[in-house]
Structure 1
Amino acid sequence: MTLHDWLTVALRNLASAAQERMTAEYRAHVQDAMTDGLTEPEAIATLGDPTQVNRALRRAYATDQELSNAQGLKVWWFMLLLVAGYGLSALWFEQAVEAVAAATALVLACLAWVIVRSEPRPVRNLLLATAGPWVFNFTLWLGWSVQAWLGDPPSLGAILWLLPVLWVVWLVGTMQQARRMRRTLALEDRA
C-alpha cells in the first residue's frame, strides 16, 4: 500500500482543513521513519490500519458534510412557528397552562438565539437545529408537568421523566459534535 492509498482511506470524509493537516503530519512521520532506515512500506505500516485511523480522526474532527449543514435555521424557525402556533391555539381554546408553557419556551428560545449568535456558522446551525426540537419538546413537557402538579396528569405520565433524559442525551451528543466542529474550524483559522 502506498502512502497515497493509505491517506485516501484514513482521511476519507474528513473536512478539507483536517485532511490537509493530517496529510502533512502523516507524510512527515513517514519521512522521519524512512530517514531512520525503514522502507516506505514499513514506514506506512507504522501508521496503523487506515480504517481505524479514520474512525479515530472522525471522533476528533468534523466531516465536510457536518460543516456544510445549512438546515439549522430552517429547523429553528419551523419549530418556533410550531410553538407559537401551539401557544395561540391554546389561547384560542382557553388552555392557559399550555399557552404559558409556549410563551416560556419562546422566551428560552430567544435566550438560546442570543447565546449561539457568536458561534461560527456551522456550529450555530448545528446548535439551532438541535435547539428547535428541544424548544417544542420543552413546551409540551412544561405544560404536562404543570398539569400533573395541578392534579390532572397527562395519560402518558412516564413521558414527564423520559423527555429530560432525552434532553441530556441530545445535549451530550450535540456538544461532542460542536467540539469536533470547533476543533476543525480552528485548523482552518491556522492555515
Structure 2
Amino acid sequence: MTLNAWLNVALGDLAPAARDRMNAEYHAHVQDAMHSGLTEPEAVATLGDPTQVNRALRRTYATASELRNGQVPKMWWFMLLLVAWCGLAALWFEQDVEAVAAATALVLACPAWMLARNEPQPVRNLLLPTAGQWLLNFFFWLSWSVQAWLGDPPSFGAIVWLLPVMWLMWFGEVGRVVRRMRRTLKLEGRA
C-alpha cells in the first residue's frame, strides 16, 4: 500500500488541522523508515491498519463534521421558552412546586450561558443545545423530587433517581467531545 492510499483511509474524516498535522507526522515517519533501508510499502506497513489508526485519531481529534456546527443553537432558546412556559402554566394553575422548579432552572440558565458564550463557535453550538435539554430535564427532576419530599411522589418515582445518572452520562459524553473539539481547534489556532 502506498503512503497516500494509507493516509486517505487513516485521515479520512478528520478536521483539516488535525489531518494536516498527522499527515506531516506520518510522512516524516515513513521518510525516516525509508532512510533506514525500508521500501515505501514496508515503511507504510509499520504504521499499522489505517482503519484502526483512523478510529484512534477520531477519539483524539474532532472530525470535520463536528466542527461544522453540528447542532443548531436555536434549540437552546426553545428549551428556555418551554421551561418558562411550564413555570407560567404552573403559576396559573397554582402549582407552587413546579413554578419554583422552573424559576430555579431559568436562574441556572444564566451561568450556563456565561460559560458557553466564551467558547469557540463549534463548541458553543454543541454546549448550548445540550444545556437547554439539561435545564428542561432539571426542571422536571426538581419538581418531582420536591413533590416526593413533600410526600406526593410521582407514580414513576424511579425516574427521580435515574435522571442524575443520565446527567452524569450526558456530562461525560459532552465533556469528551468538547475536549476533542478544543484539542482540534487549538491546532487550528482558534481555541
TM (norm. structure 2) is 0.97
Q: Deviations over 1:111-168 (max 9, x none)?
A: 1101121111111111112111100000000000000011000011000000000000
- Structure 1 range deviating more: 70-79 or 122-131: 70-79
Task: Measure, in 1, the Cα distance between the counterparts of 2:72 and 2:138.
Answer: 18
Counterpart of 1:151 in structure 2 is 151
Counterpart of 1:47 in structure 2 is 47
What is the CA distance between 1:71 and its match in structure 2?
2.7
Query: Aligned AA for 1:154?
Result: P
Task: Measure, in 1, the Cα distance between the counterparts of 2:17 and 2:68.
Answer: 13
**Distance change >3 Å, CA 70–CA 44, structure 1 → 2:** closer
Q: Does the Cα contact within 8 Å between 2:76 and 2:128 map onto a contact in 1?
A: yes
What is the CA distance between 1:72 and its match in structure 2?
4.2
Counterpart of 2:178 in structure 1 is 178
Report SS of the residue matched to 2:118.
Answer: coil
Q: Which sections of structure 1, spanning at least 5 residues, go unmatched?
A: none
TM (norm. structure 1) is 0.97
Query: Aligned AA for 2:53?
Result: V
Q: Which sections of structure 2, spanning at least 5 residues, go unmatched?
A: none
Task: Measure, in 1, the Cα distance between the counterparts of 2:46 and 2:177.
Answer: 29
Task: Measure, in 2, the Cα distance between the counterparts of 1:23 and 1:32.
Answer: 14
Report SS of the residue matched to 2:166.
Answer: helix
What is the CA distance between 1:70 and its match in structure 2?
5.2
Q: Does the Cα contact within 8 Å between 1:72 and 1:127 map onto a contact in 2?
A: no
Q: Confirm whether residue 5 of structure 1 aligns to residue 31 of structure 2.
A: no
Counterpart of 2:90 in structure 1 is 90
What is the CA distance between 1:69 and its match in structure 2?
2.0
Counterpart of 1:36 in structure 2 is 36
Map 1:68-83 onto structure 2 (within 5 A). 68-69=68-69, 71-83=71-83
Counterpart of 2:18 in structure 1 is 18
Query: Aligned AA for 2:7?
Result: L
What is the CA distance between 1:183 and its match in structure 2?
0.2
Q: Does the Cα contact within 8 Å between 1:141 and 1:160 map onto a contact in 2?
A: yes
Query: Aligned AA for 1:101?
Result: A
Q: Confirm whether residue 117 of structure 1 aligns to residue 114 of structure 2.
A: no
Give the percent of matched residue pairs that are identical in Structure 1 and Structure 2: 72
Query: Aligned AA for 2:34?
Result: M
Q: Confirm whether residue 108 of structure 1 aligns to residue 80 of structure 2.
A: no
RMSD, aligned α-carbons = 1.0
Q: Deviations over 1:32-65 (max 9, x none)?
A: 1001110000000000000000000000000111
